[in-house]
Amino acid sequence: MKALWRIWARVTGLFRKNWRDREMAQEFESHLQMHIDDNIRAGMSPEQARREALVKFGGMEAAKESVRETSRLLWIDTAFRDMRYALRGLRLNPGFATTAVLSLTLGIGASVAIYTVADNLLLRPLPYPDARQLVMLYEMNPHRGFARNVISPANYFDWKSQSSSFSAIGGFFDFHVILGDGKRTEEKDAQAVSGEVLPALQVKPIRGRVFTMQEDKDDAHVAVISYRLWQEWFGCDESVIGRQLQVNSRPFTVIGVLPPDFYFNTRTSDVWLTLGLNPADNLRKTQGRWMWAVARLKSGVSLSHARAEMTGIGQRLEIAYPEFNKGWGVDVVPLRDSFVGQAKTSLMILLGAVTLLLYVACANVANLLLARYSVRRREMAVRGALGAGRGRLIRQLLTESVMLGLAGGIAGVVLACFAVSGLVALAPRDLTRSVQITFDLRIVVFAFLLSLVTSIIFGLAPAIMASRGNVNRGLHEESRTSTGGGTRMRSWLVALEIACSVALMAGAGLLFRTLVGLQNVDPGLDEHNVLTFRVTLPSQRYKEEQKRIDFFQQATEELNQLPGVRSASATSYLPLNGIGAGTGVKILGQPPAKPGEEFVATIRTVLPGYFHTMGIPLKRGRDFNAADDVQSSPHRFIVSEAFVRKYLSGEEPLGKQISAWMNKENPFGEIVGVVGDVSDKTLDSEPAPTVYYIHSHLSYGEMVFVLRAENDALALADPARKVIQGIDSELPVSQIRTMETVVRQTFASQQFSAVLLGGFSLASLLLAAIGVYGVLAYSVTQRTREIGVRIALGAEPLTITRMVVASGARMVMIGAAAGLAAALALSGLMKSLLFGIGARDPLTFIAAPAIFVVVALVAAYVPARRAARVSPMEALRTE
Amino acid sequence: MALMVLKTLEAMGPLHGYGIARRIEQISGDRLSLNYGSIYPALLRLEQERAIASEWGMSENNRKAKYYRLTAAGRKQLKQETADWEEASAIVARFLAAKESL
């Protein structure tokens, strides 16, 4: 209570400074008068009386200051004064202020931008209640290199009945549907979910309800829609519940609307339907692995416990169903990890990179401050002589750096604001597919703290240094003659800058080399001038296989006729797109494989002309032709070279009979051709053995058309859409993109990191060059007289140049060596992003410091040349 | 110092800064010689704590002076601090006595 009153009195005291001072002066005056009166009464002369009273009172000014100090919050007062003073100082020296603020803007802006992305992806809780309890359940087959694999519905039901760690396990998968409401027909992303999924996520629909377990079991024709769809299609109409929607040409009843910010696994889903699996079906016989599972841990059950339990269940299932489960196990992964996936590595690297950049920026500003303070040493000495304590001096200097820091911080936040939207646009799909990225108050608070901390980091050392000066020496010192401790410290700072920059540059170099390597990988096809788009036939209206076969034949024929089209065809899945179907393959005449070692191949179904259109080379035999694309033709297959290499080990492939397990019946058929390899996922992944079906024998209703254009592929998009809708006006055409885009997407994450890291390392290169230049230019100015003497004594200009450059070279070399060592130690972390080169790629590790040394020496040469031109007469006169 | 000021005000009634300083010196039998100026920060602190209040008045020989007086809170504080001080000095005294008896 007492303390509170005192603080209150002091705060009010802030505003009544003048009144207080006057009152105090009056009080002291009356005190002295009374004392003098008493003294005179005691017999002193008035003169003597006054002196005695003053002596007895003690230091008048000290007492006043002490009262003042008691009367208000002194530090606020001084802080204001320091700030005014600092502002004045910075205004007087705009070059310094601008460089410092720009350095900090760059450092803080980059850090805040990357932190924003990392915060959203890695730190912020997912938008579900108790999101920590949510996990994904995956199957995995380490032996074959399948991690986080889709799961088998049969295993899913066994997990549900045998596990006790979870309060719910639900199955789902992402797909897309053709959605119509009578007025329009569009392709929309959809999610099929079992009855458990939405309750396990604890999402509360804002209108209506979610699926019941019974509806899931019956695969009822009910749909839950997104807030977005409710807005766009129904204008937020309250009567939406109970309305009909056409889903793939079948009527569904809308039963619920989910809240606006809800998403799960993908952010683009607009429709949720039931999964409708029946555990009574013999799913191990009829279905492979194709769906996902999410589960909620019972409260109190730890992740490791659940993982142990599921591993046990997986082992039991492996023994119980060897032909289906040999080699397969279960993995339990926290939901966030599964959403963020690969992006984590990129982000950690980028976080490390911005930290380095921030160090460089701080070191640069510290450097500038040191230079500035060394000029102000005399001012410091004067202040010291006038009674300013050392702490007081340091505080004054720190105020200045905090103001620089805050200015940089504010500019940095603005920069980051723009940078984040740029980052999101540039980011690889995986990074933003399942998590939303927003910029909010948290980030601003973070930026504020960051700028405070950085300003103390870069300000403290120079401030301590500057305040240390001996008063006497400081006053006497002629500013140009000494190179004191400040310069040594500045050299170390520059060396630090160089070390960080070299490390950054090495990282950027590795990624750029990877990128170049990836761009030079032969993708196995010619991706130029190829347009791709997807068409999905509604299963209801295209139930008969013949209808589907006819549609795609007719469409391909008509697309082939389009002006500007060289050739047209279609496939079930694009290569290099990360998705595809895989299945077991048998080869006639070979003994059946042991469980767990069956032949597995990627399956694509294609129309005639696919290889020609995509530029995939036909190595042997022939392509499919029109005669193959009829249901009555015998089964014929085309396989990839990897298939021949792996499963036929050098035997003559043509004429071999194989069977790929895709339909209910899979008769053996002849291999009629062999084509070059194309990867399914990324350019750097090994191409999987692939079997190509002709569409008539695996008549998917969803195909991706590929058109080879004479020149501009995208210009064909509109005419192609007209062709499709000319055949069936209700068919939406979706995912229109060029094959070049598809290929580029495969190295998007490397490109993303490389571009950013490249930008960071250029920025830090610039900062470090400024640092080298600054230190040397300053030391040349300081040594003007010495250099003048040397020249007067006959030193050649070349010798002088060499001397100055050499003094810079030392810090450059030390810095570069340290940076190289750090980079070598850290580059292992980037391994998973690299391709074609080792984490210690010699070229990168020679080039990065070499570039640096060259730039730094150029930066050193400029002041050195100036030194060589010093005229001795002028130099000696400067003092 | 705070305790001495409070005690003085209790004993003498409202008094100005000079008077308080003088009085403290006298009571201590001039053994405690203090800079009179140093009394003012102490007075201000007590005033901020609302233990004393001040107003301008006229001194015995017609000088304008600022008079300080004890408030109710000040009286309580004085009682408390007196008790504390007595206890503390008693403890110290006992320690010193104990040392001699060893």
**How far B87 CA lies from chain A's nearest CA (Å)?**
22
Q: Which of A8, A26, A41, A70 to mutate to test the interface with B (most CBs of B within 10 A)?
A: A70
When CB atoms are compared, the residue of A28, A59, A71 closest to B44 is: A71
Rounded (10°) CA dihedral A493, A495, A500, A504: 140
Please list the residues that pair with B72 across neighbouring strands.
none
ipTM: 0.84
pLDDT tens-digit map of A408-422: 888 988 888 888 877
When CB atoms are compared, the residue of A30, A38, A70 closest to B65 is: A30
Q: Does A71 touch chain B (CB under 8 A)?
A: yes
Please list the residues that pair with A599 across neighbouring strands.
A585
Percentage of chain A exceeding pLDDT 70 = 91
Highest average pLDDT, of A5-19, A409-423, A826-840, comes from: A409-423
pLDDT tens-digit map of A588-606: 888 777 766 778 888 899 9
* Residues of chain A contacting B36 with CB distance shorter than 8 Å: 31, 35, 56-58
How confident is the model at residue B99, as a pLDDT?
59
Residue A329 CA: distances (Å) to CA of A137, A166, A323, A493: 11, 18, 14, 53
Contact: A58, B35; criterion CB under 8 Å: yes
- Decide: A770 and A762 in contact? Cβ < 8 Å: no
- Decide: A720 and A562 in contact? Cβ < 8 Å: yes
Contact: A70, B36; criterion CB under 8 Å: no
pLDDT tens-digit map of A231-251: 999 988 888 999 999 888 889
Q: If contacts are CB pairs under 8 Å, which of residues 80-99 in chain B contact chain A?
A: none
Confidence of residue A72 (pLDDT cuts 50, 70, 90): low
CB atoms near residue A789 (< 10 Å)? 14
pLDDT tens-digit map of A278-333: 877 777 877 778 899 999 999 989 999 999 999 999 999 999 998 888 889 999 99
**How far B97 CA lies from chain A's nearest CA (Å)?**
36
- Decide: A274 and A196 in contact? Cβ < 8 Å: no
Contact: A69, B41; criterion CB under 8 Å: yes
pLDDT tens-digit map of A186-198: 888 899 999 999 9
Which letter does DSSP use for residue A827 in this model?
A: G
Length of chain B, please? 102
- Taking residues A393-411, what's their average pLDDT? 85
The helix (run of H) or strand (run of E) holding residue A437 is none
With H, G, I as helix, E, B as strand and everything else as coil, classify residue A809: helix
Whether the pTM exceeds 0.90: the reply is no
**How far A389 CA lies from chain B's nearest CA (Å)?**
21
Residue type, A5: W
Contact: B37, A9; criterion CB under 8 Å: no
Contact: B18, A66; criterion CB under 8 Å: no
Confidence of residue A879 (pLDDT cuts 50, 70, 90): low
Q: Does A124 touch chain B (CB under 8 A)?
A: no
**How far A26 CA lies from chain B's nearest CA (Å)?**
8
Q: Which of A11, A27, A69 to mutate to test the interface with B (most CBs of B within 10 A)?
A: A27
Cα A580 from chain centre? 27
Burial B15-25 (b: 16+ CB within 10 A, else e): bbbbbbbbbbb
When CB atoms are compared, the residue of A5, A33, A60 closest to B48 is: A5
How confident is the model at residue A826, as a pLDDT?
80
Per-residue pLDDT at A480 exceeds 50: no
Per-residue pLDDT at A485 exceeds 70: no
Q: What residue of A is the nearest CA neighbor of B66?
A: A27
CB atoms near residue A175 (< 10 Å)? 13
pLDDT tens-digit map of A108-128: 888 888 888 888 777 777 888
Confidence of residue A479 (pLDDT cuts 50, 70, 90): very low
Q: Does B40 touch chain A (CB under 8 A)?
A: yes
CB atoms near residue A179 (< 10 Å)? 24
Contact: B48, A37; criterion CB under 8 Å: no
* Placement of tokens 């058929």 in the chain: A669
With H, G, I as helix, E, B as strand and everything else as coil, classify residue A631: coil
pLDDT tens-digit map of A524-563: 888 899 999 999 888 788 888 899 999 999 999 999 999 9
**How far A38 CA lies from chain B's nearest CA (Å)?**
10
* Residues of chain B contacting A24 with CB distance shorter than 8 Å: 40
Give the contacts of A524 (CB within 8 A, at least 6 positions apart).
A575, A616, A676, A677, A678, A679, A687
Tokens of A308: 């142990």
Q: How many CA atoms are closer than 13 Å to the CA of A744, on its beta-carbon side?
A: 11
How confident is the model at residue A482, as a pLDDT?
46
Q: Does A421 touch chain B (CB under 8 A)?
A: no
Which letter does DSSP use for residue A600 in this model?
A: E
Following DSSP, what letter does each residue of A31-52 receive, concatenated?
HHHHHHHHHHHTT--HHHHHHH
Backbone CA torsion sign across A223, A229, A233, A235: positive
Q: What are phi and psi of A224, to 5 degrees?
A: -110, 140
* Residues of chain B contacting A55 with CB distance shorter than 8 Å: none
Which letter does DSSP use for residue A151 in this model?
A: B
Contact: A6, B49; criterion CB under 8 Å: yes
